[in-house]
Structure 1
Amino acid sequence: SAAASADADTAPASAPETARPFRIVAVTSCPTGIAHTYMAAESLEKAGREAGVELVVETQGSAGFTRLDPAVVAAADGVIFAHDVPVRDKDRFAGKPTVDVGVKAGINRPAELIGEVRGKAERGEVTSGSPSGAGTPVERAGESGEGYGTKLRKWLMSGVSYMVPFVAAGGLLIALGFAIGGYEIKSAPSVMDHFVWTQTDSWAALLFQIGAVAFGFLVPVLAGYIAYGMADRPGLVPGFVGGMIASTINAGFLGGLVAGLLAGGVVMAIQKVRIPAPVRGIMPVVVIPLISSAIVGFLMFVVVGKPIASAQKGMTDWLNGLSGSNAVLLGALLGLMMCFDLGGPVNKVAYTFATAGIAVSNPGDSAMKIMAAVMAAGMVPPLAMALATTVRGKLFTPTERENGKAAWVLGASFISEGAIPFAAADPLRVIPASMAGGAVTGALSMAFGATLRAPHGGIFVVPLIGNPFLYLVAVAAGVCVTTALVVVLKGMRKPAPGTVRPGSAEGATGTTSAQETKQPVAA
């Protein structure tokens, strides 16, 4: 049979129309550059192997990215972009049949995307070349014809994706400083003036002060990279300047958002002006930074800064005044948002809201409670899917049971995306169950008064959490609720015609993905 299969493999290869396989290059990216980016890449590569095409993926994740070999890009017959933030160096792929979608499509329907790009190649549809018609990099940041609402989301997510590592580093360092030296460490003198190598308090003060410096970059980085997402590199200088002004005038996170959008818009407007050829050389280095920084600085200091600072103070006062049933309701709402799309835009809104509250050197108690509730709720879906595949494995396919093993680690690490394979396969059961568990956990965390100074870390930062035991109880309660609902909801369709016992199902269909899809709840 090996010889027969070898013959079968070589026979079509000799035919001229299949002399070489169809070649696709793909780029995947997501706002945080942690989970979705690599899950989409893995999904596309697997679908490419199944479809018999050569598919190479460039992951533009948070750890940076390695550009595809220009020869590979040149030889490609088609391009797939699966991204939620602008693709970097997108012009490399111009002039080829291109499918441009969100990163979730790369995870959920890779075979369909491969089919789409092959169809475009057969019809000779290609993307336009360089910026002659596009004008500025912002108009090339997404699919042509994309609405400004979609572009706005991508620009904001671009800023958030660069900001999150600063939040994680600064928050964890400050939390470690508090854990070692207590909350009074924030009033310690500068370690430049007083540092004793043998004193734990000195080390705690050092960690706290490094973390505070890291936090100082949050708003400028947010603003700078929103402007970068809009106008490419020329947007960085006015974006950072506007963000720093927002920090200076206490306009905070809201000020950073506005400064970034203003900076990007100003640079876009300048780039539309026709410039004489002799002056073009100094435009990106001198003229654009000078004019855009002056305009953005004027607008932030004189026009919009004060109202935004007032709005930020109002929001902070409202958060600090939350107590009792209002706090519990907010916790439930944030839990619902964290579990609605498992790392998508709604999840990121809730997470960004929480991190914005703690992104100061001295956050209020309510802000730290909100951060605790958000992280607890975000851990629920993957942990619940892992538990469900353990206690009732018969209700899941062999592939899902394998994913369940990885979901333990992803959930414990506060990576909500660990539940995406389950939600993609059965959204009507998994997502509502996840939201119910997330709401329970968020509400309980707020009710228990658990606080969290670190913006990430999952189970590994429990020693830094206020009321850690009750916090874990809140997480466990939500996991149990989601697990029970998933098991009940999946179990309700057990009697569906054609279901078979798991032993025979795996024996007969364990290797056939189409049949597994038809009967995902063999019991």
Structure 2
Amino acid sequence: MSDMITADLVDLDLSADTKEAAARALAQRMVALGRVTDLEGFLADVAAREAQMPTGLDGGIGIPHCRSTHVTEPTLAFGRSAAGIDFGAADGPADLIFLIAAPAGADDAHLTILSSLARQLMNAEFTTALRSVADAGAAAALIRGDETPEKVKAEAEAAVEAGPGAHGASDGVKDAASAPEGTAAAPGAASAGAAAGSTTGAAEAARDDTSGADERPFRVVAVTSCPTGIAHTYMAAESLENAGREAGVEVLVETQGSAGFTRLDPAVIAAADGVIFAHDVPVRDKDRFAGKPTVDVGVKAGINRPTELIAEVRGKAERGEVTAAASGGTPVERAGDSAEGYGTKLRKWLMSGVSYMVPFVAAGGLLIALGFAIGGWQVNKAPSVMDHFVWTQTGSWGALLFQIGIVAFNFLIPVLAGYIAYGMADRPGLVPGFVGGSIALTINAGFLGGLAAGLIAGGVVMAIQRIDIPAALRGIMPVVVIPLISSAIVGFLMFVVIGKPIASAQKAMTDWLNGLTGANAILLGALLGLMMCFDLGGPVNKVAYTFATAGIAVASPSDSAMKIMAAVMAAGMVPPLAMALATTVRGKLFTQTERENGKAAWVLGASFITEGAIPFAAADPLRVIPSAMAGGAVTGALSMAFGATLRAPHGGIFVVPLIGNPFLYLLAIAAGVGVTTALVVVLKGMRKENPQAADAGTTANATSAATEPKQPVAA
């Protein structure tokens, strides 16, 4: 592990009593060696990673880690705690703490070395040696691989036999196996021993259960992954492989970590009897494992109870259980928990369609807006550029852009419906979804028709997939039978049964919007502003945005629809711009990391990327989100009151020339930004002054700042 860890990065008498204090103590060693440039910024990134999932492992191990822009080179610090520190492990506090710091652009070689350490932590001899080592240099050498656990253990035993004083203050830490009951080393060692004992017992039971099985061993393929892709990914792999050897099971693992991943050979997957997914981020190319008994769990389950997972997948194989989730699941299930409630799944299905639709909205809308800007407001009446196009006339170029944009817009409803169905039923849902969406477009059912078509198409395909089909017909089901039957059913329902009522509802809603004036329009603008700023790019934000874009997704949108689009974009720009301004005018109320995020928020806000405010909201939601909503409501209401219009669905300040009443529009944005900035400054100023924020780096305040709860979450 070369110089990734040295004696200066080892603390065998770590006195910290909390995980934040432990991270700070070890990080300060990294700062002293120039490995970390900004202590507070780095600790904020560590805290953000810890917030995703506790980093404590059974057996007395804590492994806080992160990738950070404040790290100059991959670095590992090690601390040993006599009292133990709570890192969230089920079996209690950790006495072995590893702090892993990886640069934001760490190279594959160093990440591979870090993964090697993670695998070593699953080796009981390695952890036992770390508990017994009496010298910082020897500990660093052991972690680097320059010393073997056997040699370190022998040296420790010799030191104990030599009597007190042989190694100074570190003599109090002995081999975990020989430590008297009640010492600091005992809890972790006992946990490791108990885990090893349960693993061995389960392995023996597994052998007994399969004593009459074929000579060929049971084969399992597994995939492990974690949010950072540095530690848990490889620890779970090592744990599963060790448990497989104990149980007489062949286990091959594909680690999808930060160092990239090498796909398992398709022949290996085909020959496997079962699959284990131990992951906290979506498994890449999950369809490769379709049709096999599958156990799907979080990555920590792969570390802590591998034998149970192997036994579970064997049981499923014996019973012939191949469920929808085991067959790969739908895209929504692959991105989350297959046991989520119906309401959560419905929201994700709808967001699946919206996420695929938005690029068509942006491309088509901007092309149409540019067409109007270049060719004038009569460009929508221009003849087809196939019949009339003059290279030297700006009007022809404007008509070309406009007509390309209209073609892109014509995909909105079919894409929305198709990918809602895709989110529900995977690829078989695409054909009926697109067909239903196209019918909705044909009968003028609009956005509501697209939603209905997508949900119906997905439901129909899911119902067909539940039918028990003879084996001889299964091969043609995805290609012929499902597309044929589902398209016919969806087409019948859209044309004959529900299409006309939905089209009537769409027309009524459009007429209502066109009739909005005065106070009603202002209230609508305020409501849309609140929605845009409520979750900063989340589902509620997307509902408001989709509502606005659906109104302008026609060749000749109404004046009301363009006012709604203007209000939505203006309100969406407020939160990041306000956070940027607040960090500029009252920087001492924010951490150094937040001040850095504030610089980026200027550009994000100006570009209508509301998500630029998420780091601030995640760190302090009770102050930031209400402030953002207040400013968004003001901006939305003023935009509607000023009569500002917008033909483009995106672009921020870069499409101001395409906005009706642009100066009043910018005034509305400025007013909302001012309201949000003022509220954030006042609310943050009312709390107890945070020394971490007031002084981004003083060592004198470092310890007290460690317990300060306000830690920004890295975007």
Question: What TM-score bracket applies, with the shorter chain setting the length?
Answer: 0.7 to 0.9
The answer (yes or no) to whether the contact 2:521–2:641 under 8 Å persists in 1 is yes
**Which position in structure 2 is the counterpart of 1:29?**
none
Structure-2 change in CA distance of 1:514 and 1:481 (3 Å): same
TM-aligned CA distance change 1:146 to 1:91, over 3 Å: farther
Which of 340, 351, 375 is the equivalent residue of 2:545?
351
Is the partner of 1:273 in helix, strand or coil?
coil
Deviations 1:171-214 (A, max 9, x none): 00000001111111100000011000000000000000000010
Instruction: Summarize the alignment of residues 122-521 of structure 1 with structure 2, pairs less than 5 Å apart.
Output: 122-124=304-306, 126=309, 132-134=322-324, 137-138=329-330, 140-141=333-334, 142-494=336-688, 499-500=690-691, 506-508=697-699, 515=706, 517-518=708-709
Q: Which amino acid aligns with 1:411?
A: G
Aligned residue in 2 for 1:5? 9
Q: How big is the shift at 1:286?
A: 1.1
- Please report the RMSD computed on the Cα atoms of aligned residues, expressed in angstroms: 3.5
Residue among 252, 255, 263 paired with 1:70? 263
Q: Is the 8 A contact 1:79 1:96 kept in 2?
A: no
The alpha-carbon deviation at position 12 of structure 1 amounts to: 3.9
Q: Which residue of 2 aligns with 1:35?
A: none
- 1:70 Cα deviation from its structure 2 partner: 1.9
Corresponding residue SS for 1:281: helix
Q: Distance in 2 between matches of 1:90 and 1:206?
A: 41
Structure 1, 275-284 or 199-208: larger mean CA deviation: 275-284
- 2: distance between equivalents of 1:348 and 1:281? 39
User: Which amino acid is 2:400 matched to?
Assistant: L
Contact residue 222 and residue 256 of structure 1 kept, 8 A: yes
| Structure 2 match to 1:81 | 281
| Mapped partners of 2:692, 2:536: distance in 1 | 32
Aligned partners of 2:351, 2:285: CA distance in 1, in Å? 14
User: Residue in 2 aligned with 1:64?
Assistant: none
> Number of residues paired by the alignment?
470
Q: Percent identity?
A: 70
In structure 2, distance between residues paired with 1:428 and 1:200: 51
1:15 to partner: Cα distance: 4.9
SS at match of 1:69: coil
Alpha-carbon displacement from aligned partner over 1:52-87 (angstroms, at most 9, x marks no partner): 97998799xxxxxxx9532599999941137xxx98
1:403 and 1:485 map into 2 onto residues whose CA distance is 19
Q: Is the 8 A contact 2:522 2:641 kept in 1?
A: yes
User: CA-to-partner distance for each residue in 1:266-319, whole Å, 9 max, x for gaps?
Assistant: 111111111112221111111111111111100000000000000000111111
Quote how far apart the aligned CAs of 1:331 are.
0.4
- Counterpart of 2:164? none
Distance 1:424 1:487, change over 3 A: same
Structure 2 distance, partners of 1:330, 1:196, is 43
Structure ranking higher in strand proportion: 2
Measure, in 1, the Cα distance between the counterparts of 2:474 and 2:605: 51
TM-score, normalised with respect to structure 1:
0.81
Q: Is the 8 A contact 2:225 2:233 kept in 1?
A: no
User: Which residue pairs with 1:103 in the alignment?
Assistant: none
Provide the C-alpha distance between the structure 1 equivalents of 2:456 and 2:285, rounded to a whole number of angstroms: 21
* Residues 419/50 of structure 1: CA separation in 2 closer, same or farther (3 Å cut): farther
Choose 1 or 2 for highest CA Rg: 2
| Deviation of the 1:508 alpha carbon | 2.0
Q: Secondary structure at the match of 2:388?
A: coil
Query: What CA deviation, in whole Å up to 9, does each residue of 1:140-170 have, x standing for no partner?
Result: 4541321111111111111111100000011
More RCO (CA 8 Å, sep 6+):
1
Measured in 2, the distance between the counterparts of 1:51 and 1:3 equals 27
SS of structure 2 residue aligned to 1:45: coil
Q: Distance in 1 between matches of 2:710 and 2:407?
A: 54
Deviation at 1:503, TM superposition (A): 6.3
Letter in 1 for 2:9: S
C-alpha separation between the residues in 2 aligned to 1:323 and 1:134? 51
Deviation at residue 360 of structure 1 after TM alignment: 1.1
1:458–1:423: structure 2 CA closer, same or farther, 3 Å change rule?
A: same
Q: What residue identity is the alignment partner of 1:98?
A: V
Query: How far 1:390 sits from its partner (Å)?
Result: 0.6
Q: Which residue is equivalent to 1:34? A: none
**In 2 relative to 1, CA 445–287 (structure 1 residues): closer, same or farther, beyond 3 Å?**
same
* Alpha-carbon distance change, 205 to 145 in structure 1, aligned in 2, over 3 angstroms: same
Question: Residue type matched to 2:557 in 1?
Answer: P
Correspondence list, 1:81-100, <5 A: 81=281, 89=286, 98-99=297-298
Contact 1:97 1:121 in 2 (8 A): no
Letter aligned with residue 228 of structure 2: E
Measured against aligned partners, the alpha-carbon deviations of 1:387-418 in whole angstroms (never above 9, x if no partner) come to: 10011000001111111111111111111111
Q: Report if the CA contact (8 A) 1:159-1:223 is conserved.
A: yes
Is this contact kept in 1: 2:418–2:431, CA < 8 A?
yes
In structure 2, C-alpha distance between the alignment counterparts of 1:510 and 1:184, rounded to whole Å? 65
TM-score, with length taken from structure 2: 0.60
Q: Which residue of 2 aligns with 1:33?
A: none
Q: Which residue of 2 aligns with 1:45?
A: 228
Change (3 A) 1:383 1:54: farther
- Counterparts of 1:369 and 1:421, CA distance in 2: 30
Question: Are 1:134 and 1:140, in contact at CA under 8 Å, matched by a contact in 2?
Answer: no
Q: Which amino acid aligns with 2:300?
A: R
Per-residue CA distance 1:295-354 (angstroms, 9 max, x = gap): 110000000000000000011111111111100100000001100110111111111111
SS at 1:70's partner residue? coil
| Structure 1 residues 242 and 518: CA distance shift in structure 2, 3 A | closer
SS of corresponding position for 1:191: coil
Relative to structure 1, the CA distance from residue 118 to residue 510 in structure 2 (aligned partners, 3 Å threshold; closer, same or farther) is farther
Q: Does the CA-based 8 Å contact 1:510-1:516 persist in structure 2? A: no
Amino acid at match of 2:297: T
Deviation at 1:518, TM superposition (A): 3.7
Whichever structure has more helix as a proportion of its residues is 1
CA contact (8 A) 2:236 2:303 kept: no
**Separation in 2 of the partners of 1:509 and 1:520?**
19
Tell me, yes or no, if the aligned pair for 1:340 and 1:346 is still in contact at 8 Å.
Answer: yes
Q: Deviations over 1:11-61 (max 9, x none)?
A: 34555999xxxx9524xxxxxxxxxxxxxxxxx439x579997998799xx
- Rounded Cα–Cα distance in structure 2 between residues aligned with 1:192 and 1:509: 73
Question: 2: CA distance between counterparts of 1:448 and 1:176?
Answer: 23
